[in-house]
Structure 1
Amino acid sequence: MPRPLPWVPEDSDFAVIGSGIAGIIFALFASERARVTVFTKKEQSESNTNYAQGGIAAVLDPTDSEAEHVRDTEIAGVGLCRREAVEILVHEGPPLIRQLAQWGVQFSRRPESGGFDLGMEGGHSHRRIVHAHDMTGRQVEEALLAELRRRRNVTILEHCYVVDLEVGETPDGRQCTGLWYYDPGGPCLRFHPARAVLVATGGLGQVYLHTTNPAIATGDGIGMAYRAGATLANMEFVQFHPTAFYTPNGTPFLVSEAVRGEGGILKTLDGAPFMEHYDPRGCLAPRDIVARAIDAEMKKRGDQHVLLDLTHRDADFLRRRFPFISTQCAEHGVDLTRSPIPVVPAAHYSCGGIECDTWGRTDIAGLYAAGEAAHTGVHGANRLASNSLLEALVWGKRAAESCLSERLGVQMPRALAFRPLNQRREGMEAIRWVHMTGELRRLMWDYVGIVRSSERLRFAQRRLAVMQAEVDYLIESGMGIVETFELRNMVAVARLIVESALHRRESRGLHYSLDYLRQDDTQPPVETKVRINPFAFVG
């Protein structure tokens, strides 16, 4: 039996798609003066935020400076960071950290002073990582959801899957007037009008076979924004976290950047350290460099993983600093105080996304984006560790401020009739989306991974074109179920990654091509921008 939908308001001032940190922060600030409805396709606490371990980067130490945080971010971003966006991120982040603490987030503190226990991570020149042991995302999510539930003019709709955005032409240009969500009781698509819509759907890691992302990370917001005609930027830059726990037959879990920040050493299976051969910063080099180094060592030796060794650190410190990772490792038979951790790179974060400005505004009026689904220009070609939650905080708040000042006075869009679905799920038709999803994830892992080539990308391009036709057929023939809508978004996102990667004829940051081994420094770095209607690169 399909799960019945909760009560849905007939309209909202602002609709939010996603219940991670970007969506929640937006709702908290926007609800001070507006009615907000949050749509989330699973439980409200199920988001990429909930799985974030490391922490939030912010200048809170008097020996640190905003200029140095900007510098570290731009070095990691390899020439593609937007200076204005980075300066906003770094300047507006610390007050928001203090606001989180006031809302009940229990950050780790130094026992002697009571101040924040600031951690160190790769690419940072100072200790500036605010954390809640190694469960920062979960602590932030729980505290903010508790605060959000106290807001009377916020409605949170669980298990309510948003399928598409509604965009119409007006005398002033294109405008987003609401969203379409799936009602399994119909089955049908129902329209929810809103003066503004925020896309805060998180990442796209599920398009890859190995990922640190949860099952919900299927790139839905990017897919629906692309179909609506919004501009997407820098989709080729997919970050592979260097250290996911290696398990041959299971789902990998993240082993935080902070483990290397606290002295973890990467070694081959015979116990030899290797990072110094790839970068003078060793294990504290940025993620793109570390991931490629691990990939190279694995291929050179024919190994399935490498080792992350913490056994030289104090056992009590490790259990206290990394309680979640210690427990997870123990459940897989590894005592990290006595044995190295088997690790392998896994798809982790998209530095590209829906193009937006410093207020979260896209090129469609009334459509906003924040968090991992957005491209703000902060991360450039490679994200600095622990800048992601910070970006979601800053742009979630800024988008709320923009909506309150610019969209609250807009006339409420008119309601639209529901769209019936001729739903079928039986037999061979139902199993096809399962097989196609598995094929897609393997294709992206094998051909569009850490190291790429034009030949591999063109093969993926051809196969994805066939998959696009197949998923279109499934939907047109009545397979209008959530899994098929997700698959449509995954195929769209995969094609955007491949097309953008083919368009970039250099190696830069997270995009490493065997056909263009060097970074092109003969001209200023260029962002890759693309939109539909017709499909075209626009920058």
Structure 2
Amino acid sequence: MAGAPPPLVTQAPPILIVGGGLAGLFCALKLAPRRVAVLTPGSIDEGAASFWAQGGVAAAVLDTDSPERHAEDTLKAGAGIVDARIALGVAREARARIDDLLAYGVPFDRVDGELTPSREAAHSERRIVRVKGDTAGRAIMETLVARVREAPSIELMEGYCAQELLTREGRAIGLRARGRDGLLRDFLSSEIVLATGGIGHLYRVTTNPVEARGVGLAMAARAGALIADAEFVQFHPTAIDIGVDPAPLATESLRGEGAIIVDRSGHRFMADIDPAAELAPRDIVARGVFASIAAGRGAFLDARATVGAEFPARFPTVHASCRAGGVDPVTAPIPIAPAAHYHMGGVAADACGRTSLAGLWAAGEVAATGLHGANRLASNSLLEAVVFAARIAEHIPATREEAQSPPAPPAGGETAAAAPLDLVEELRDTMARDVGVIRDRAGLTRALAAILRLEAATASAEFRNMTTAALLATSAALARRESRGAHFRADFPQADAALAQRSYMTLAQAREFVEEALK
């Protein structure tokens, strides 16, 4: 409302990390003893998508494997647009980052002191370093949270929902956020690291927590940063279909251990679609599962023969999720459906995590580094998070300690409002219907019109971030007139060799494209 008081202004430590998932906490620890603040919407003990990761960290740790083979698998899964230099560099750093995590105390599965990795889809070797089958994400995060809480160089700012990057003369200088009390606060800092996660919760069916609404992507885009590969959204083919939001995940490790996908009649339909069957790249499996469900045949993950009675011990997270939904995976197949799982696109970042906006860095799912291409290779996400978090910590410059005067406050108090629930749900339905596993021009243009209408319906900054992220993903999907990796266009079902390149756009360019497309 008019006359609302300006935001409170806080001089944060010289480095401000936005996000408390794996990338954010790992970066904070690697920066020690340099002063750093970690700002999160909730407690770092819960909420981050990293807690939910089941498979593990991909790394060539066996004598039979190599970083070069890991990079080759990454290139193949990425459907022609992976940055080969990035893929090889990340694969070569993987073992060092695993050693870092071991040093922090992460209890990766080992036998006689040696790591015992598993295999996941599209990997040519067993290279998924995990914890008790399907608890890697939680085990890693619990370990890092404990280290962060005892680190004197790290200041925690919990309970703040990021809303807007503050800039001056083309440089990021801070962040505006809404506290639990509803009041706006400006946190001023010399260097900002975005580690806010992805966009999965923009979709009706997702494995991501509610915080994964694209806030980092949107804030960076609104501040003028370049966005890359926004059209590529990976849908996990084996979300457990028991009516829970977010949907629990049946880890890919189950298929690596021999679980099969069948329809209601017991037919193993993925064998008809791809020679690798259940171990085909995720986009292929997701479309196969989607088609079986759409045809009324259903889809189920059957691990009775390969895991059976060992399910509670080998995959306790999946077992507990199934039982909570009334399914016993020891004796019955698990109902599954594709769910929005990971965003390959994000804020364009270079090999050191720098974005196009001075003073702004990005790591983890919010960043687009070129590692994933059009289709992320399983368990490369946690690897990318720790590799780029470490690189940022190494390359972020010495910072200025002096306070900076804040930019002008917002015009009215509406910016402190939470996102309206009814509009959020309509946006999620729109994205699931028209920007999902299978897309076409009619659906994408319908989605863009709906997004613009929803954007104009409220002054909520948090909802505006959601619509901005949705607009970027949808406009990029409409612009790519081919099918590649996780992006499938029913009206352009084949890949076009001329389009075998990454996509880049600013928010201003996206809006110009949308305006022309909707004429």
The range that moved more, 356-365 or 154-163, is 154-163
Query: Contact 2:9/2:185 (CA < 8 Å) preserved in 1?
Result: no
How many Å separate the matches in 1 of 2:9 and 2:222?
A: 25
Written as runs of structure 1 = structure 2, the 5 A alignment for 1:165-180 is 165-169=165-169, 174-180=170-176
Query: Contact 2:9/2:188 (CA < 8 Å) preserved in 1?
Result: no
How many Å separate the matches in 2 of 1:329 and 1:56?
A: 24
Confirm whether residue 488 of structure 1 aligns to residue 481 of structure 2: no
Q: Judging changes above 3 Å, is the alpha-carbon distance between structure 1 residues 373 and 314 closer, same or farther for their aligned structure 2 residues?
A: closer
Written as runs of structure 1 = structure 2, the 5 A alignment for 1:84-95 is 84-95=85-96
Q: Which residue of 2 aligns with 1:30?
A: 31
Please give the secondary structure, in 1, of the residue aligned with 2:37: strand
Confirm whether residue 469 of structure 1 aligns to residue 464 of structure 2: no
Please give the secondary structure, in 1, of the residue aligned with 2:11: coil
Confirm whether residue 419 of structure 1 aligns to residue 409 of structure 2: yes
Confirm whether residue 182 of structure 1 aligns to residue 178 of structure 2: yes
Q: Which residue of 1 aligns with 2:491?
A: 515
Query: Contact 1:190/1:418 (CA < 8 Å) preserved in 2?
Result: no
Deviation readout 1:91-142 (Å, 9 max, x if unpaired): 11111101111111111223xx331121110000000000012111111001
Query: Contact 1:531/1:537 (CA < 8 Å) preserved in 2?
Result: no
Query: Contact 1:188/1:421 (CA < 8 Å) preserved in 2?
Result: no
Structure 1 unmatched ranges of 5 or more: 1-6, 476-483
Counterpart residue identity of residue 176, structure 2: W
Please give the secondary structure, in 2, of the residue aligned with 1:190: strand
How many Å separate the matches in 2 of 1:411 and 1:11?
A: 9
How many Å separate the matches in 1 of 2:386 and 2:9?
A: 27
Written as runs of structure 1 = structure 2, the 5 A alignment for 1:91-170 is 91-110=92-111, 113-133=112-132, 134-169=134-169
Confirm whether residue 245 of structure 1 aligns to residue 227 of structure 2: no
Q: Once the 2 structures are TM-superposed, how far is the Cα of residue 415 of structure 1 from its aligned partner?
A: 3.0
RMSD of aligned C-alpha atoms?
A: 2.2
How many Å separate the matches in 2 of 1:421 and 1:536?
A: 24
How many Å separate the matches in 2 of 1:8 and 1:38?
A: 17
Q: In the alignment, which of 438, 453, 462 is matched to residue 440 of structure 2? A: 453
Structure 2 unmatched ranges of 5 or more: 1-7, 514-519
Q: Which residue of 1 aligns with 2:479?
A: 503
Confirm whether residue 223 of structure 1 aligns to residue 218 of structure 2: yes
Written as runs of structure 1 = structure 2, the 5 A alignment for 1:232-381 is 232-248=227-243, 251-300=246-295, 302-303=296-297, 305-381=298-374
Counterpart residue identity of residue 195, structure 2: A
Query: Contact 1:16/1:27 (CA < 8 Å) preserved in 2?
Result: yes
Please give the secondary structure, in 2, of the residue aligned with 1:419: coil
Q: Judging changes above 3 Å, is the alpha-carbon distance between structure 1 residues 354 and 314 closer, same or farther for their aligned structure 2 residues?
A: closer
What fraction of aligned residue pairs are identical, expressed as a percent? Answer: 37
Query: Contact 2:10/2:186 (CA < 8 Å) preserved in 1?
Result: no
Counterpart residue identity of residue 160, structure 1: Y
Q: Judging changes above 3 Å, is the alpha-carbon distance between structure 1 residues 8 and 38 closer, same or farther for their aligned structure 2 residues?
A: farther
* Length, aligned pairs only: 504
Q: Judging changes above 3 Å, is the alpha-carbon distance between structure 1 residues 418 and 31 closer, same or farther for their aligned structure 2 residues?
A: farther
How many Å separate the matches in 1 of 2:151 and 2:9?
A: 17
Counterpart residue identity of residue 451, structure 1: I
Counterpart residue identity of residue 153, structure 2: N
Please give the secondary structure, in 1, of the residue aligned with 2:190: strand
How many Å separate the matches in 2 of 1:116 and 1:61?
A: 8
Q: Judging changes above 3 Å, is the alpha-carbon distance between structure 1 residues 309 and 448 closer, same or farther for their aligned structure 2 residues?
A: same
Counterpart residue identity of residue 149, structure 2: R
Deviation readout 1:193-222 (Å, 9 max, x if unpaired): 211100000011111000000111111100
Q: Judging changes above 3 Å, is the alpha-carbon distance between structure 1 residues 525 and 416 closer, same or farther for their aligned structure 2 residues?
A: same
How many Å separate the matches in 2 of 1:245 and 1:180?
A: 37
Query: Contact 1:177/1:413 (CA < 8 Å) preserved in 2?
Result: no
Q: Once the 2 structures are TM-superposed, how far is the Cα of residue 320 of structure 1 from its aligned partner?
A: 2.2
Q: Judging changes above 3 Å, is the alpha-carbon distance between structure 1 residues 161 and 379 closer, same or farther for their aligned structure 2 residues?
A: same
How many Å separate the matches in 2 of 1:373 and 1:278?
A: 32
Query: Contact 2:347/2:367 (CA < 8 Å) preserved in 1?
Result: yes
How many Å separate the matches in 1 of 2:361 and 2:307?
A: 47
Please give the secondary structure, in 1, of the residue aligned with 2:165: strand
Q: Which residue of 1 aligns with 2:205?
A: 210
Query: Contact 2:9/2:406 (CA < 8 Å) preserved in 1?
Result: no
Query: Contact 1:530/1:537 (CA < 8 Å) preserved in 2?
Result: no
Q: Judging changes above 3 Å, is the alpha-carbon distance between structure 1 residues 140 and 250 closer, same or farther for their aligned structure 2 residues?
A: closer
Q: Judging changes above 3 Å, is the alpha-carbon distance between structure 1 residues 155 and 329 closer, same or farther for their aligned structure 2 residues?
A: same
Query: Contact 1:229/1:531 (CA < 8 Å) preserved in 2?
Result: yes
How many Å separate the matches in 1 of 2:430 and 2:186?
A: 35
Counterpart residue identity of residue 291, structure 2: A
TM-score by length of 2: 0.93
Q: Once the 2 structures are TM-superposed, how far is the Cα of residue 314 of structure 1 from its aligned partner?
A: 4.5
Q: Once the 2 structures are TM-superposed, how far is the Cα of residue 420 of structure 1 from its aligned partner?
A: 6.6
